[in-house]
Amino acid sequence: MNMRKLAAGLAGIMMLLASGAAHAGGELQLYNWGNYTNPDLLAKFEKETGIKVTVTDYDSNSTALAKIKAGGHGFDMVVPSASHVKIFIEEGLVIESRPDQMSNFKNVAPEWRNPFFDPGRRYSVPWQWGTVGMVVDTDVYKGDINTSAIVFDPPAELVGKINIAPEMLDIMNTAMMYVGSEPCSTDKAALKKARDVLVAAKPKWLSMDYGLVEKMPRGDYAAAIYWNGAAMRARLAKSSIRYGYPREGYTVWMDNAMVLKDAKNVENAKLFQNFVMDPENAALISSFAKYANGISGSEKFMPEEMATAPEVIVPDEFKSMGVFPPACSKEANDYYTAIWTELTK
């Protein structure tokens, strides 16, 4: 009993010390993907509100989820992908901050106002969104690039010159669509087909790695399945590089900013949510990380090269082929993991 009292007393003192050290002008602890937050955006926010934002990085949705779930992390906001937004909501890790009632909500593009992962946008605001498609050097291969066959059944010119993004969910989902099924399906016949396609294709790949923006222009490989923003950067470095939207179906993703349940600076976090829905501020996000943001009117604040990029603006003819994968069920995820393990053993 005494021990417990002592511990509580000590904890109290420690907390006092800790809070005394905090910023008086208000602060915000943002937990975001690495190299994803424009410092100018934070500077602008601090100038307007006096709130100092500290960014800490993560490198995968699962790391972020694991840390937030464990608790005691000290973060106020997190920016998970759509596939994980639902998990954060279901597990009760975020608060209903009601972005839909914020003054800047009017700027959110109509198609992003009622996403399936957060109906009515009661929790999350758009950060950035993009697609996963084919990146091809047209100097090497001149045929049709709007098909996943580029990586799953590559033409002779590309054999041994292919890179696969090391992201299990994106690759498995694309493969499932390639064999005529859908993301996160538990249809065994389709899973078997997808596995066979992947296992047969693997010897024709060079690597499963990040770093396309640098490696592709310098000619390490000539085709890849990768994210669209990186594809645009690669094209700017080497003009023969093109981005293809697989007609068998490609995946669309979106990262969304949410306020955590154990946040210490809830009001500041809400202010920040509203702040990033302003077109000018959203444009700052995009011009740094090179993906679209889902805020109408932000295009005119973006650099010229982005506002017209075919990698960022999905051409009308391909719009219907984009699929937003849900959070996979445990069963589907287990199948995916088993196939992925077999593929990379």
Partner 1 sequence: MNILSMKPKTFSLRYQPGFTIIALACFFMLYAPIVTLVIYSFNAGKYISIWEGFSLQWYVSAWNNEIVQDATIRSLVLALQASLYSTVLATMAALGTTRIRPFRGLTAIYAMINQPLMVPEIVTAVALLILFAMIKVATGVQGLFYLVAAHTAFCIPFAYLPIRARLEGMDLTLETAAADLYATPWMTFRRVTLPLMWPGIIAGAMLAFVISLDDIVITEFVKSAGQETLPTYMLGQLRRIITPEINAISTVLLAISLLVVSFFFVVSHKRD
Partner 2 sequence: MTSSSNNDPSVFAEQLAVRRHWLLCAPALTVLFLAASGPLLIVLVYSFLESGEYGGVVWKPSVDAWFRVVFQRDIFDDTLSLADAHLKILWRSMRLSFFTTITTLILGFPTAYFIATRPQNSRNIWLFMVTVPFWTNLLIRTFAIMEVIRNEGMINTLLIFIGVIDAPVQMMNTDFAIMVGMTYVYLPLMVLPLYAAMERLDFSLVEAAYDLYATRLKVLWRVIIPLVRPGVVAGSILVFIPALGAFVTPRVLGGGKKMMLGNLIELQFGAGRNWPLGAALSITLLAVVMVALLVYVRTVQKNAELQR
Which stretches of 182-227 are DSSP H helices? 188-201, 212-215
CB of 153 to partner 2, least distance (A): 18
Contact stretch for partner 1 (CB under 8 A) within 70-78, 98-106, 152-160, 335-343? 70-78
Question: Using CB under 8 A, which of 44, 73, 98, 261 touches partner 1?
Answer: 73
Residues of the shown chain interacting with partner 2 in the complex, contacts defined by CB under 8 A: 60, 62-63, 65-66, 69, 87, 90-91, 166-169, 188, 191-192, 202, 205-209, 218, 220, 327, 330, 333-335, 337-342, 344-345
Residue 205 interacts with, from partner 1, partner 2, none (CB under 5-8 Å by kind): partner 2
Q: Which residues contact 226 (CB under 8 A, 6 or more apart)?
A: 132, 133, 135, 163, 165, 212
CB of 34 to partner 1, least distance (A): 2
- Distance CA(295)–CA(108), nearest Å, equals 5
Coil, strand or helix at 107: helix
CB of 189 to partner 2, least distance (A): 8
Instruction: Specify the DSSP class assigned to residue 329.
Output: P
Contact stretch for partner 1 (CB under 8 A) within 10-18, 86-94, 137-145, 274-282? 10-18
CB of 264 to partner 2, least distance (A): 24
Closest residue by Cα to residue 271 from 119, 75, 102: 102
Which stretches of the chain are DSSP H helices? 2-21, 39-49, 61-70, 82-90, 149-152, 168-178, 188-201, 212-215, 228-237, 266-276, 279-289, 304-307, 330-343
Nearer CB in complex with partner 2: 205/275 = 205
CB of 212 to partner 2, least distance (A): 13
Closest residue by Cα to residue 273 from 68, 60, 30: 30
Contact stretch for partner 1 (CB under 8 A) within 52-60, 136-144, 175-183, 241-249? 52-60
Nearer CB in complex with partner 2: 65/78 = 65
Nearer CB in complex with partner 1: 66/189 = 66
Residue 121 CB-density burial (10 A; 0-12 exposed, 13-18 middle, 19+ buried) = buried
Chain center to CA of 174? 16
Nearer CB in complex with partner 2: 234/284 = 234
Read out DSSP for 254-283?
A: EEEEEEBTT-S-HHHHHHHHHHHTSHHHHH
Site size toward partner 1 (CB under 8 A) is: 38
Task: Give the x-and-dash track for 227-256 against partner 1 (CB under 8 A).
Answer: ---x--x-----------------------
Residue 275 interacts with, from partner 2, partner 1, none (CB under 5-8 Å by kind): none
Residue 318 CB-density burial (10 A; 0-12 exposed, 13-18 middle, 19+ buried) = middle
CB of 343 to partner 2, least distance (A): 9
